[in-house]
Amino acid sequence: MTEFRYSNVEKEMEVYGYDGVVKSHCRMCHGGCGVLVYTKKGKVAKIAGDPDCPINHGTLCSKGLASAQLAYHPDRLTYPVRRIGPKGSGKWERISWDQALDAIAERILEYKEKYGPESVVFGYGTGRENEAVIYRIANCLGSPNVLTAGHFCYGPRLSTGIITCGTNPVVDYENFPKCIILWGNNVTIVNADEYKGEPFSVALDHGAKLIVVDPRLTRPAARADVWLQLRPGTDAALALGMLNVIINEKLYDKEFVENYTHGWEPFVKRVNEYPPERVEEITWVPKEKIKEAARLFATTKPAAIQWGVAIEQQNNCVDNDRSLMFLMGITGNIDAPGGQALYRTPDIVNVGHFGAHGMLPKDQFAKRLGGERFRLASRFAILQPKCVWDAIIEEKPYPVKMLFLISSNPVITRPNAREVYRALEKVEFMAVADFFMTPTAELADIVLPAATWLEMDYIGDFWKRHGYILPRRKVIQVGECRSDHEMLNDLAHRIGQGQYWWDTFEQALDYILHPMGIKWKDFKKMNYIRGPVKYYKYKEGGFSTATRKFELSSTVLEKMGYDPLPQHREPPESPVNTPDVYKEYPYILITGVRPPGFFHTENRQIPWLRELHRDPIVEIHPDAAAKEGIQDGDWVIIESRRGKVRQRAKLVLGRDPRIVSAQHAWWFPENKDPGHGWDESNVNILTEDALEGMDPAMGASNLKTALCRIYPESRQGGLP
Ligand SMILES: Nc1nc2c(c(=O)[nH]1)N[C@H]1C(S)=C(S)[C@@H](COP(=O)(O)OP(=O)(O)OC[C@H]3O[C@@H](n4cnc5c(=O)[nH]c(N)nc54)[C@H](O)[C@@H]3O)O[C@H]1N2
Ligand SMILES: Nc1nc2c(c(=O)[nH]1)N[C@H]1C(S)=C(S)[C@@H](COP(=O)(O)OP(=O)(O)OC[C@H]3O[C@@H](n4cnc5c(=O)[nH]c(N)nc54)[C@H](O)[C@@H]3O)O[C@H]1N2
Ligand code: SF4
Ligand SMILES: [Mo]
User: Mind listing the pLDDT tens digit for each residue in 303-340?
Assistant: 999 999 999 999 999 999 999 999 999 999 999 999 99
Question: How far does CA 521 lie from the centroid of its chain?
Answer: 31
- CB under 8 Å to 598, separation ≥6 — which residues? 604, 609, 613, 665
Among candidate residues 410, 413, 416, the one with its CA nearest the CA of residue 444: 410
Is the bond preceding 302 in cis, omega lying within 30 degrees of 0?
yes
Residue bearing the CA closest to ligand 1, atom 32:
407
Provide the pLDDT for residue 12. Answer: 87
Q: Are the C-beta atoms of 433 and 484 separated by less than 8 Å?
A: yes
For CATH 3.40.228.10, the residue range(s) in the chain are 170-341+548-559
The ligand that comes nearest to the alpha carbon of residue 404 is: 1
CATH 2.40.40.20 residue ranges for the chain: 579-715
Ligand nearest the Cα of residue 25 is: 3
Pick the CATH number of 81-154+354-468+474-523 from 3.90.550.10, 3.40.50.740, 3.40.50.980, 3.30.390.50: 3.40.50.740
Partner residues linked to 482 by β-bridges = 450
Q: pLDDT value at position 510? A: 98
Which residues sit with their C-beta closer than 6 Å to ligand 1? 125-126, 128, 130, 149, 153, 309, 313, 406-410, 412-413, 433-436, 438, 450, 484, 591-592, 599-602, 664-665, 683-684, 687, 703
Q: What is the pTM of this model?
A: 0.97
Residue 226, SS3?
A: strand
Q: Indicate the Cα dihedral angle 277, 281, 282, 287, nearest 10°.
A: 40
- Residue of 600, 603, 617, 668 with the most ligand 1 atoms within 8 Å of its CB, for mutation: 600
> Which residues have CB under 6 Å of ligand 3?
26, 28-29, 31-33, 56, 60-61, 63-64, 191
Residues 6+ apart with CB under 8 A from 571: 232, 233, 314, 315, 577, 693, 702, 705
The fold of 579-715 is: Barwin-like endoglucanases (2.40.40)
Ligand 2 atom 19 nearest Cα: 308
pLDDT at 367: 98
Q: What pLDDT is stored for residue 460 in this prediction?
A: 95
Cα–Cα distance measured from residue 203 to residue 63, given in angstroms and rounded to the nearest whole number: 24
Cα of 592 from ligand 2 centre, angstroms: 7
pLDDT of residue 4: 72
Residues 266 and 238 sit within 8 Å (Cβ to Cβ): no
Q: pLDDT per residue over 410-450, tens digit each?
A: 999 999 999 999 999 999 999 999 999 999 999 999 999 99
Query: What is the amino acid identity at position 536?
Result: Y
Write out residues with Cβ below 6 Å of ligand 2. 29, 126, 153, 183-186, 189-190, 192, 213-216, 218, 230, 232-233, 235, 308-311, 590, 592-594, 596, 598-600, 704
Pocket test for ligand 3, best of 23, 24, 28 (most atoms within 8 A of CB): 28
- What number does the ligand 2 atom closest to the CA of 313 have? 35
Q: What is the pLDDT of residue 538?
A: 98
β-pairing, 20-25 vs 34-40, is antiparallel
CB atoms within 10 A of CB 9: 17
Task: Choose one of 152, 413, 458 to mutate for the ligand 1 pocket test, by most ligand atoms within 8 angstroms of C-beta.
Answer: 413
* Ligand with smallest separation from the Cα of 408: 1
Counting as low any pLDDT under 50, the low residues of the chain are 1, 720
294: region left, alpha or beta (phi > 0 left; psi from -120 to 50 alpha)? alpha
Strands (E), 356-451: 402-406, 429-434, 446-449
Phi-psi region of 376 (alpha: psi -120 to 50; beta: other; left: phi over 0): alpha
Q: Cα–Cα distance between 135 and 5 in angstroms, integer?
A: 38
Domain with CATH 3.30.200.210 in the chain: 8-60
How far apart (Å, rounded) are the C-alpha atoms in residues 613 and 457? Answer: 32
* Residue 412 CA to ligand 4 centre (angstroms): 13
Distance 609 CA to ligand 3 centre (A): 13
DSSP string, 48-74: EE-TT-TTTTT---HHHHTHHHHHT-T
Q: CA dist 696 to 382, 591, 700, Å? A: 13, 22, 8
Contact between residue 471 and residue 460 where contact means Cβ atoms under 8 Å apart: yes
Taking the CA of 592 as reference, the closest ligand is 1
Burial class (CB in 10 A: 0-12, 13-18, 19+), 581: middle
**CATH, domain range 170-341+548-559:** 3.40.228.10
> CATH 3.30.200.210: does it fit domain 8-60?
yes
Q: What is the pLDDT of residue 720?
A: 47
> Of 61, 185, 191, 196, which is best to mutate to test ligand 2, by the most ligand atoms within 8 angstroms of its C-beta?
185
CA–CA dist 215, 227 (Å, integer): 9
Taking the centre of ligand 3 as the mean of its atom positions, its distance from the CA of residue 189, in whole angstroms, is 10
